[in-house]
A and B are shown apart, each in its own frame.
Chain A
Amino acid sequence: MTNRLPTLTDEEIRRLLPPDDEAGFGALTTPKGVLPLKALDVQTRIDGLVAQTTVSQTFVNTLDEPLEATYIFPLPDRAAVTAFRMEVAGRVVEGILKERGEARRTYDEAIQAGRRAAIAEEERPGVFTLRVGNLMPGETAAVRLTLSGPLEYSEGEATFRFPLVVAPRYIPGVSLPGPCVGDGVAPDTDSVPDASRITPPVLLPGFPNPVQLALAVEVRDGGLPVRDLRSSLHAVVTADGEGCRRVSLQPGERLNRDFILRFRVADTAVRTALILQPDADPTSQEGTLLLTVVPPAGPAAPRPRDVVFVLDRSGSMDGWKIVAARRALARMVDTLTDADHFAVYAFDDAVETVPEFGGSGLVVATNRNRFRAVEFLARLEARGGTEMARPLDQAVRCLVKCDRQHERVLVLVTDGQVGNEDQILRTLGVGTKEIRIFTLGIDQAVNAAFLKRLAAQGGGACELVESEDRLDQVMDKVHRRIGSPVLTDVRLEPAGLEVFTPSLVPARLPDLFAGTPLVIQGRYRGAARGAITVHARDAAGRPWTETVRAQAGDNPAITASWARGFVRELEDRYVIGQGNKSALEKQIVQTSLRFGVLCRFTAFVAVDVKEVVNPGGQVHRVTQPVEPAAGWAMLGTQEKEGSMVCRALGASPPVAAALKIPDPCRSWRGLAPPAARASAPKPHMKFRKRAPAPAAAPQGIDDLTAYRQRAADLLRLVDGTAGAGSADGLNALYLLAVQLATLVEDLKSTGVPAAAWQPLAELLVALEALITDHSPVVDGPAVAMLLTRARKVLRQFSSGQGAPAGGSPRTEFWK
């Protein structure tokens, strides 16, 4: 009894298209390939909202010289790596966690002495390097990492995300002199001193799948039903006994995106609770606490908002990502009201703002200003480098100066593909403590760790979307997140329980939003009993308290999870430069070693002491190249994404002269073939092979239902002003223009024939003309005429009469 698992829709569309190359499904290995990584096996068990995973990587030396293989790979950013071992020559060698410098020395000495050895290091939360050395010709080594971590949970939906590729990162700065510290392709720079450790070589599209991937997730529901399992890769689900389901990948999947498994759990699965887990060591008088606070239901009392939207329009966003980002931002701008202030920054190598706003300051979110912002957004194309630190710094400085009585929110929309995370956090420094930061990550192989770190620094939240469909699903939640919280000024008061306050994770207790529980971890001393009272202020500003009684825990993974979280907080403090650096480093190493969790200052090392196999320790070094990240137009992996190819068709006139305007790939050191760029003035603007969206091409435009519904909503808005005076009518037209601009942009992005949205676009032009007309006198008849026209056009579109019957003007629009 095997059931196919429904996949995310964009994936289905991709699969419906014929493959562009012979590689892919079925082609599991390179026949003559010398790449060392042969197989990756991921086995996960999800119990409640905690995932326990073992990752096995198999390396083979197919060369005729001793090998040192380097693999730069990702792991879930919040997971704690708690064990490491190497299997080679029929032996199992357990890894030992050591201070990083010491571990590296141990490894180097073993290699020089001719012994087989392996080392696992953490470069970033979520990015790791593994080296296996003195692997002899024909030999196989398998290394195994054990990790555990919490699932993301919000509004009844749990997400298990397992990244499979470290996507290319933008590396700012100038090259450092001397040799580099790692085996990646980018040279180290002053901004990213370890760039060479996070930049694996990238395979070309068309390279036969070099790694055999197996991935299985066992979901145990613990008596609470789990529903609606969905996966980002092709998988099958099988019932595996009572209350347990097994999701396994079909063979042939490539390591080019995040594996995402989502499912809904019953509301009762997550409740306000305090769990105390005494240390396993009986001599320890301490333990770990886990406090979950589910915020009360009920509407938030809206306060005026000051919002700076920061949009990454750099080259890596080219393709569906920039389209999704523009849409997301336009819709967020649309939810603002006259009581709010806002600004929009778009950055690549430089920062651009809405020209009419006259600078980087905030303006009142009037209809006109929102309209201008949406117009500005609609014009943005992806290009250039990802110089992210400056616009964020500018936004934080701007918000810090704003009225403290307002909600001060920074919204960052990006794929997060930068290497200078530390530099950015350091630049923003403590300014982030005063405002709230919300990050929206858009990518199929997103830099989740950085976007979550940034959001945590800013006491806010992070939402990650891997497709336009997913964006639509979470948009309401995103709106709530940039709205007002239901609980603020949260603080804890223990009773009958000794809590180490400095050990609390997160250190900055964030404000609470409806639907998303607050999870706090920390350490306590003494008997495992007592209670914690949570104090906060509710939406109306009244005091709110809830006392949570302790209950005994039976999950030792809580301790590793806290330790990893705590070390991460310390690492961030180290990066920002708060406190004494050497004392912090000492505390980080101590915590990491005591609780056995890998971090940036420690490393797991395994040495096979039984045998000397390569006297002299000369090795041939190979860094495993990785798949090009899926959905990146820059890497040529966009075309296959069908519905994600969403670009208005518009030809540039013949080139008269060339100016140095960044193309999407410029500054992204060497990521696109130079020949392709030299052949056309702006290759990414060429007519893309428009893959027919299955719903759009064969069956006409039936899938426009959602858009027709939005048009119907707009019609109601216009109808609501019937008989009102012309001032009200004008106001309605402003509102209509803002929302219509978004609707038209969305429609264009679906790739339906222009005839479907042409009347709406023409109406928009007429509205723009009226709005940008600065005449002080309201022209009553003109307003009335436009209102009538708007009603007619919207009625026609919403009832499905927009497109002319028969002969579409451009039947082969995908060519």
Chain B
Amino acid sequence: MATPTPHWTIDELGAQVALALSVDYVGPPNHRVREVPDRRTIRYYTTLGLLDRPTEMRGRTAYYGPRHLWQLVAIKRLQARGLSLAEIQERVVGQTDAALRRLAQLPAGETPAPAADAGPGRRAEAFWAAAPAPLSDNGESREEPDPAAPGRPLQAVPLGDDVLLVWAATRAVDEEEQEAIRVAAAPLLKLLDARRLLGPRPERGTP
């Protein structure tokens, strides 16, 4: 199988998309289509079959080829026409290179010379006999953190003069609960005090 060329990292792919769109891109009617899809969006599109899997993984870096470019530009063009993602899926999933180029409105000569339609490569080994890795020692999920991950509201309750409890609460705490938390935190404050981890307190004697 011919190696699809060229290889782009996700950032390079994004730049190629922006370049392709800059030609005659009028922008989406609702201005909500971001120019360069982020990592999460790329992954989401892959799950939907809108975008092929990366051509290759080298370490944690994924590499992409011209077909990915056509797919992304085609998606952007269709979004610019106001189509829903399901409608885009109907038009883009499973399409041939030629059809994608048409949807992307990219003349054949404009993008780097495409390799033969290789699609994502396949490893040839006897994967069915391969043993999975043993469980790693740390129980953490090994997925790379996503800075855009939304979270729960932070809640803060002052426990003393210079101690503040901050945590991701499931909801807001009321007065009564704050008081209960302060009472429950007494042993902790005692420990911090005993280890001399709290600042001097003029009005307090030694316990």
- In the docked arrangement, what's the CA distance between A659 and B166, Å? 10
A36 within 8 A of B: yes
A652 within 8 A of B: yes
Residues from chain B with Cβ under 8 Å of A658 in the complex: 150-154
With A181-B123, A681-B150 already in contact, the answer to whether A193 and B47 are too (CB < 8 A) is no
Residues from chain B with Cβ under 8 Å of A206 in the complex: 84, 86
A422 with B53: CB separation less than 8 A: no
> Which of B7-15, B16-24, B128-136, B186-194 has 4 or more CB atoms under 8 Å from chain A?
B128-136
- In the docked arrangement, what's the CA distance between A181 and B126, Å? 9
Picked from A185, A625, A666, the residue with its CB within 8 Å of the CB of B149 is A666
B89 with A36: CB separation less than 8 A: no
Residue of A nearest to B141 (CB): A349
B149 with A663: CB separation less than 8 A: yes
A-contact bits for B59-87, CB 8 A (1 contact / 0 none):
11010000000000000000000001110
> Which of B38-46, B106-114, B196-204 has 4 or more CB atoms under 8 Å from chain A?
B38-46
B168 with A180: CB separation less than 8 A: no
Give residues of chain B (125-174) contacting chain A, Cβ–Cβ below 8 Å. 125-135, 139-143, 145-146, 148-156, 167-168, 170-172
A179 with B121: CB separation less than 8 A: yes
Pick the most buried of B48, B59, B84, B172: most chain A CB atoms within 10 A of its CB. B48
A193 with B132: CB separation less than 8 A: yes
B-contact bits for A655-687, CB 8 A (1 contact / 0 none):
111111111001101111111011011100000
A178 with B90: CB separation less than 8 A: no
B122 within 8 A of A: yes
B-contact bits for A374-407, CB 8 A (1 contact / 0 none):
0000010100110101100100000000000000
With A63-B96, A185-B46, A681-B150 already in contact, the answer to whether A179 and B84 are too (CB < 8 A) is no
Give residues of chain B (81-108) contacting chain A, Cβ–Cβ below 8 Å. 84-86, 89-91, 93-99
Question: Distance (Å) between the CB of A219 and the closest chain B CB?
Answer: 36
For chain A, give the interface size range.
35 or more
A653 with B53: CB separation less than 8 A: no
- In the docked arrangement, what's the CA distance between A121 and B45, Å? 27
- In the docked arrangement, what's the CA distance between A201 and B44, Å? 10
- In the docked arrangement, what's the CA distance between A177 and B139, Å? 23
Picked from B89, B117, B125, B129, the residue with its CB within 8 Å of the CB of A618 is B117
Residues from chain B with Cβ under 8 Å of A427 in the complex: 134-135
Picked from B44, B56, B142, the residue with its CB within 8 Å of the CB of A672 is B44
Chain A binding site: helix, strand, loop or mixed by DSSP?
loop
Chain B binding site: helix, strand, loop or mixed by DSSP?
loop
A423 with B43: CB separation less than 8 A: no
Question: Distance (Å) between the CB of B48 and the closest chain A CB?
Answer: 6
B28 within 8 A of A: no
- In the docked arrangement, what's the CA distance between A42 and B119, Å? 32
A677 with B150: CB separation less than 8 A: yes
A426 within 8 A of B: yes
Question: Distance (Å) between the CB of B114 and the closest chain A CB?
Answer: 13
Picked from A180, A623, A680, the residue with its CB within 8 Å of the CB of B121 is A180
Residues from chain A with Cβ under 8 Å of B56 in the complex: 178-179
- In the docked arrangement, what's the CA distance between A196 and B93, Å? 17
Residues from chain A with Cβ under 8 Å of B129 in the complex: 585, 601
Residues from chain A with Cβ under 8 Å of B135 in the complex: 389-390, 393, 423, 427
Question: Distance (Å) between the CB of A170 and the closest chain B CB?
Answer: 10
With A622-B94, A661-B151 already in contact, the answer to whether A204 and B171 are too (CB < 8 A) is no
Residues from chain A with Cβ under 8 Å of B139 in the complex: 349-351, 387, 390
A65 within 8 A of B: yes
Picked from A196, A389, A662, the residue with its CB within 8 Å of the CB of B53 is A196
B127 with A650: CB separation less than 8 A: no
A659 with B125: CB separation less than 8 A: no
B-contact bits for A716-747, CB 8 A (1 contact / 0 none):
00000000000000000000000000000000
Picked from A179, A618, A653, A671, the residue with its CB within 8 Å of the CB of B120 is A179
B116 within 8 A of A: yes
With A175-B60, A190-B133, A682-B152 already in contact, the answer to whether A667 and B41 are too (CB < 8 A) is no
A34 with B151: CB separation less than 8 A: no
Give residues of chain A (192-225) contacting chain B, Cβ–Cβ below 8 Å. 192-194, 196-197, 201-208
- In the docked arrangement, what's the CA distance between A670 and B40, Å? 6
B185 within 8 A of A: no
Residues from chain A with Cβ under 8 Å of B149 in the complex: 660, 662-663, 666
Residue of B nearest to A624 (CB): B94
With A390-B135, A660-B145 already in contact, the answer to whether A179 and B172 are too (CB < 8 A) is no
With A192-B132, A389-B135, A674-B44 already in contact, the answer to whether A205 and B153 are too (CB < 8 A) is no
A652 with B152: CB separation less than 8 A: yes
Residues from chain A with Cβ under 8 Å of B48 in the complex: 201-204, 625
A187 with B90: CB separation less than 8 A: no
A30 within 8 A of B: yes
Pick the most buried of A187, A420, A671, A672: most chain B CB atoms within 10 A of its CB. A187
Pick the most buried of A35, A389, A620: most chain B CB atoms within 10 A of its CB. A620
A178 with B49: CB separation less than 8 A: no
- In the docked arrangement, what's the CA distance between A663 and B149, Å? 8
A182 within 8 A of B: yes
A181 with B94: CB separation less than 8 A: no
A594 within 8 A of B: no
A657 with B150: CB separation less than 8 A: no
B132 with A100: CB separation less than 8 A: no
Residues from chain A with Cβ under 8 Å of B85 in the complex: 204, 673
- In the docked arrangement, what's the CA distance between A393 and B134, Å? 12
- In the docked arrangement, what's the CA distance between A186 and B49, Å? 11
A64 within 8 A of B: yes
A173 within 8 A of B: yes
- In the docked arrangement, what's the CA distance between A620 and B120, Å? 11
- In the docked arrangement, what's the CA distance between A101 and B151, Å? 47
A349 with B140: CB separation less than 8 A: yes
B58 within 8 A of A: yes
B141 with A667: CB separation less than 8 A: yes
A666 with B142: CB separation less than 8 A: no
Question: Distance (Å) between the CB of A644 and the closest chain B CB?
Answer: 22
With A204-B48, A682-B150 already in contact, the answer to whether A625 and B93 are too (CB < 8 A) is yes
A183 with B89: CB separation less than 8 A: no
- In the docked arrangement, what's the CA distance between A187 and B119, Å? 14
Residues from chain A with Cβ under 8 Å of B127 in the complex: 181, 188, 193-194, 197
A191 within 8 A of B: yes
A654 within 8 A of B: yes
Residues from chain A with Cβ under 8 Å of B155 in the complex: 656
Residues from chain A with Cβ under 8 Å of B91 in the complex: 32
Residues from chain B with Cβ under 8 Å of A618 in the complex: 116-117
Residues from chain B with Cβ under 8 Å of A655 in the complex: 153
- In the docked arrangement, what's the CA distance between A36 and B94, Å? 9
A423 with B133: CB separation less than 8 A: yes
Residues from chain B with Cβ under 8 Å of A299 in the complex: none
- In the docked arrangement, what's the CA distance between A417 and B184, Å? 40
Picked from A34, A175, A197, A422, the residue with its CB within 8 Å of the CB of B131 is A422
A659 with B168: CB separation less than 8 A: yes
Residues from chain B with Cβ under 8 Å of A653 in the complex: 153, 171-172
Give residues of chain A (664-718) contacting chain B, Cβ–Cβ below 8 Å. 666-667, 669-675, 677-678, 680-682
- In the docked arrangement, what's the CA distance between A280 and B109, Å? 65
A659 with B90: CB separation less than 8 A: no
With A204-B86, A620-B96 already in contact, the answer to whether A185 and B49 are too (CB < 8 A) is yes
With A175-B57, A194-B127, A681-B151 already in contact, the answer to whether A180 and B122 are too (CB < 8 A) is yes
Question: Top 3 nearest A-B pairs by Cβ distance?
Answer: A201-B49, A179-B121, A670-B43
27 A–B contact pairs at CB < 8 A? A30-B90, A36-B94, A63-B95, A65-B96, A123-B128, A172-B141, A179-B121, A180-B123, A183-B120, A186-B53, A204-B86, A205-B86, A207-B89, A208-B90, A349-B141, A381-B170, A390-B135, A393-B135, A423-B133, A620-B97, A622-B94, A623-B49, A652-B170, A656-B156, A663-B149, A671-B47, A675-B41
Binding site for B on A (CB under 8 A): 30, 32-36, 63-65, 100-101, 121, 123, 168, 172-188, 190-194, 196-197, 201-208, 349-351, 379, 381, 384-385, 387, 389-390, 393, 420, 422-423, 426-427, 575, 577, 585, 600-601, 618, 620-623, 625, 650, 652-663, 666-667, 669-675, 677-678, 680-682
